[in-house]
Chains A and B, each alone.
Chain A
Amino acid sequence: MEGSSELKISGKAIIFGDNVNTDIIIPGRYLTSLDPNELAKHAMEGLDPDFTRKAQGGAIIVAGRNFGCGSSREQAPLALKYAEVKCVIAESFARIFYRNAINISLPPLECSGVLSQVHDGNILLVDLAEGEIVNQTKNRTIHATRLPEFILDIIKDGGLIEHLKKRMRGMR
C-alpha cells in the first residue's frame, strides 16, 4: 500500500496517567521560544525531569484519559515531536491537542484499556492504517480506534500545511 511505510511506527513506551495537561507538557514560561528544539528540552519536565533523555531514539507515549487537556498551545505536541516522540496513544484526548497533533503529523491514537496492556519500556509497533498496536515485549496485539481516512491523509502528507499545499496544487 502506497505511503504505508510512514504509517508504521516503532518505539519504546513511556507511560503517563490521566489528564496530562499542556502546561505540564510545555509550561507557559517557555512559549516565547519559536525554536522547537528549545521547547523539546523542557517537554514534560514538571512530571519527569528525565523525560527528554528517556525519549531519545524514539518513544511512544502511552497515557490515560484526556491527554493534552488545557491550553491550545501547539507547542505541546511540537515539543513532544522534537523530543523524538513518534506517536501518542491514550484512552482519550482533549480535542485541541488531538487536532494539533494531527496537524503537525504526530499521530494520536485512541485506545481503550491501553494502560493495562503496556508497561513502561515495552517495545511497541504501531500500524496506523490498521489501527493496530503490537506490544513486542509481551507478544500481544492491541486494537485501537482506527483514524479516519482524511486524517490519515494529513498525517501521510506530513501535516496540515503540506496537505493543504498538495490540495491547492491539485486545484490549480
Chain B
Amino acid sequence: MNIAEKILALASGRDEASPDEIVEAKVDVAMANEITGPLAIEAFQKIGIEKVWNNQHIVMILDHQVPAESIKSAVLHKIMREFAREQRIKKLYDIGFGGVCHQIMPEKGHVRPGELIVGADSHTCTYGAFGSFATGIGSTEMAAVFATGEIWLRVPHTIKMDINGTFQRFVTPKDLILSIIGQIGADGAIYKAIEFTGPTIENMSIGGRMTLCNMTVEMGAKTGIINPDEATLAYVKSRTDKPFKMLKSDPDAVYEKTLEIDVSGLEPKVACPHSVDNVKPASEIGDVNIDQAFIGSCTNGRLEDLQLAAEFIKGRKVKDGVRLLITPASQEVYLQALEHGLLEIFVKAGAYICNPTCGACFGGHMGILAPGETCVSSSNRNFIGRMGSPDAKVYLASPATVAASAIAGRIIDPRELWRDPAN
C-alpha cells in the first residue's frame, strides 16, 4: 500500500484499503475556522445531541476576518468562542494567539504523521507535508464529524510525483507547484491523492513541502502527501508529545501513474488571470504593471518566505504607486520576522505589515482590489473576484517574484533584479 492507503486503512480499522473503496474512517483531528465553523455549529445544533464526540480532538481557529472588520464578523467570532466554551474545546486559537489555520495546525502540534485530519477549509491538504492524510470538507460534514468523529471517504487513486534535481537560486517550491499545475491542469487530479517523493523532496524544507501540498487542491486533488522522514520527525516532536505512527509507502505500492520531474532547469513561474493553471515563465509575461503586491497566506507566509523576500527588499524602496502588503502567517512567524530584523527591512522599504490573517488572499479585508487593479500575490488562487473586484487581476508567484516585482513596479523574473545593479 502507499501512504494514503495505509492511513485510511488504519483509520477505518482495516488491514487494507484500495482505491475506490468507501471507508468509514475515524477522524484524529477536526479543524474549523470562523468562516466555516459557525455554519457547522448551526448544523451540529440541529442534530440534537449535546456534546461533541471528543472535545480534545477539535481545533478552532479565528483567521479569515481578524480582527473583526465588521459587526457580522464579530458575531461569527463570538459564535466560535461560545461554542468552544460550551463544549470545553480548549484548542481555540483566538486573536493574538494564532494566525492562519494551516500554519497554526502544525505549529501548535496538531498535525502528526499517520493521522487522519479533516478541516473545514480546502487547504487542509497542506498537512500532508507531515505524512498525515488531510483533506478539506464542508460545514455540514464537519457538524457530522463533531457529532460522530467519523466520516465516509472514498480511497483515492494516487499519482506519484518523483522530483529530482536542485533548484536554481531564487527558484522555489512555489515555482515547482505552479509548473506542475500548469502541466496537468486545474482538474488534473480530481478525487486523487498526489504523493511527492524523490531526492528534491528529501532535501526540501518543511515550509517548502507545505507549499507543495497546500496547492494540490488547485489541481482538484483530495490531498497531497509526503512520506515522513527525519526532518518531519524533528519538527513534529518539537511541537507535540503525543505518540504517532510513521506510516510510509511500501516499495511495491501501486500508483495510478508516476510523473518524473526535474527541477534543475525550472524557471520562476507565474499563474496568470484568471486560472491557477494559466502558468507562464515570469520572464515571458511581458509588461504587467502592478498596483499591489501581497506576501503571505498558508501557501507562502512563513519565515523562509519572508527571508527570501527580504533579500530583494533590503536597502531598496517599493516602487512608487505600488502597495506591498506583508502578512506573516502566524504570531510565531511574526515574532521570528521581528527577531530576524525582517520587519525593519520591510518597513524601511515602504512595505505595509499586516497582522496574521487570511484577509487579503481570500478578498475578505486588509487589501481588497479595486476594479481595473492588478496584484501579484504569493497566495494560491487568482479566480475572478478572489481578492476583491471581479474586474481586478491577480497573478500568483513565489515570494521572490512578488518582492522583486514590488521593487520593479511590474512583474519580473526575480533574477532580473538581482542581476541589475541599477536596481
Chain A interface residues toward B at CB < 8 A: 18-19, 21, 23-24, 27-29, 31-34, 45-47, 65-66, 69-75, 92-96, 99-100, 103-104, 150, 159-161, 164-165, 168
Contact = CB atoms under 8 A, between A and B. Distances in A.
A70 B122 contact: yes
Interface residues of B, number: 53
A23 B386 contact: yes
A58 to B, nearest CB: 23
A149 B46 CA distance: 24
A103 B141 contact: yes
A160 B140 contact: yes
A24 B381 contact: no
B186 A161 contact: no
The 10 closest A-B pairs by CB, nearest first: A66-B187, A100-B138, A32-B72, A74-B138, A46-B390, A103-B140, A28-B362, A72-B122, A72-B136, A23-B383
Interface in B268-316: 275
Contact of B187 (A18, A34, A75, A160): A18
Contacts, number: 131
Nearest to B65: A32
Contacts of B143: 160-161
Q: Which of A28, A34, A93 gathers the greatest number of chain B CB atoms within 10 Å?
A: A28
Contacts of A92: 187, 190
Contacts of A32: 65, 70, 72-73, 76
Contacts of B64: 28, 31
A165 B141 contact: no
A159 B140 contact: yes
Q: Which of A24, A72, A164 gathers the greatest number of chain B CB atoms within 10 Å?
A: A72
B216 to A, nearest CB: 12
Nearest to B124: A72
B247 interface: no
Interface stretch (B6-14, B34-42, B340-348): B34-42
B137 A96 contact: yes
Given A19-B187, A29-B368, A24 B383 contact: yes
A161 B35 contact: no
A65 B73 CA distance: 33
Contacts of A161: 43, 46-47, 140, 143-144
Interface in B99-155: 119-122, 124, 136-141, 143-144, 147-148, 152
